Structure 1
């Protein structure tokens, strides 16, 4: 695979990116990841990075979010589901190697559409559950089946592989998928899912970072800046997440995902209009 040029698009505004790093850290710590839905638009706006390198750079930033967040949940008394998390970590780590390779082949429009789709589905699920409506309420897998090792570990590993590949490619930290997946499939409490998600994506982020840097789909400069500035915000966000009621946390998560979906959709529409105008000239 041809190495992408890493030196032609490093210009940008460090101040706004640092502020977004802190805010994104708060969001990631509170909801168990997903800081990338702030980091991606920020790097897209305040730097000259290509869309592929934007996603790759946020993978680097997720190291700071996940390490600080998992430590904060552990120290703050938040429970971690290590039974489900073990399979998710294994699958997620392998996915972290696969995802960046897929990103290098994806179009910018496809990346934007996939992000919007995940945001919409995530928001719908969490808002419906938080409001106590019967649609999709509770886990899809019977509790007795979740307790069976022969089912839990292979299933969790497969789910981790898919989510890990997504996170490794998109640089979103995986919380937007991992948290709802744990709640929906395995019946995990939302607070527990948030802490476990952060733990799960530590090795995923490290592996993804190595692959992205080797193939030139990440900026070490911008990714490191976000990783450093997001760490303190993540600790604050984790403390806030542990203090909130699960239904309130679900509404916060769902509302946040909805807002990001609207912003990304608007950006996609503007981009398509610009392309059409340029084509008609």
Structure 2
């Protein structure tokens, strides 16, 4: 794929600052750093649109790795029952997602994101107000969640879909993985955040490698932002663990609603 030259109009300090802020967001809510990385790269570099998504994917590798480490070592907030299957699916999805970018309609991908974000925001706000009609119960019946013959294929399928979307868009899988873990599999929000970060370490690696091979990523810029994101991710994850369930739910719900509105405006344009 043809690319614009990497004699980039890149402000190193600006890229480092964006990396830190994106890391805080990713660590706090279990992903979503790409929501900052993608528009920043699009605005402040002369990378092509495909390279923007690929470069964001590379930067997300360290966000996922550092955040998962903090949640696992400090809070013990990881669910390997659901996360294991999603990780397998996410690896496959990361490979296909990078290739999907050149074929799939970005409008469809963004439409899917908007629907999930609005549903997530509504549930988390209802939870915080004590008005959730499901009383926190997952969509999937409890007896199925105890059946490995259901959980394994279901989580692999979920990881495949989310991984493909994340690999294509470079936005980080947490925006879809966290709601999926909470709504479908009944995982609490803190555990969902840590698990989502762990799940998408190999996904981001796989997607980043494919992007580099097909020329749709800048290793130099992605590595720069990823290095800066590490301390921000640690700080964000520690903050997320310190917040109560209700407060974290409101934070994530507000973020989800803001991103949904942003995507709707983008689609209308």
Question: Given the two structures, how large is their TM-score scaled by the length of structure 2?
Answer: 0.91
Q: Matches of 1:161 and 1:256 in 2, distance apart? A: 24
**1:112, distance to aligned residue in structure 2 (A):** 5.3
Give the one of 77, 99, 119 matched to 2:75. Answer: 77
Q: 1:64 aligned to 62, 65, 90, which one?
A: 62
Please state whether the residue corresponding to 1:49 is helix, strand or coil.
coil
Q: Deviations for 1:43-87, whole angstroms, at most 9, x for unmatched residues?
A: 122122222221111100111101101111122123211111110
SS of residue matched to 1:76: helix
C-alpha distance 156-35 of structure 1, shift in aligned 2 (>3 A): same
Corresponding residue of 1:218? 217
Partner of 1:105: 103
* Structure 2 runs not aligned, ≥5 long: none
Contact persistence 2:138–2:183 (CA under 8 A):
yes
Q: CA deviation at 1:202?
A: 0.6
Tell me the distance in 2 between the aligned counterparts of 1:22 and 1:130.
29
Matched residue, 1:134: 132
TM-score, length of structure 1 as denominator length: 0.88
Tell me how large the CA RMSD over aligned residues is: 2.1
Aligned mate of 1:25, from 16, 23, 26: 23
Matched residue, 1:276: none
Aligned residue-pair number: 268
Partner of 1:256: 255
**Equivalent-residue separation in structure 1 for 2:172 and 2:43 (angstroms):** 20
Q: Are 1:239 and 2:238 counterparts?
A: yes
Q: Could you report, residue by residue, the CA deviation over 1:221-245 in whole angstroms, capped at 9, with x for unpaired residues?
A: 2211221111111001111111111
State which drifts further: 239-248 or 10-19.
10-19
Q: Structure 1: any 5+ residue segments left out of the alignment?
A: 273-281
Alignment of 1:1-281 (within 5 A): 3-5=1-3, 7=5, 10-106=8-104, 115-135=113-133, 137-267=136-266, 269=268, 272=269
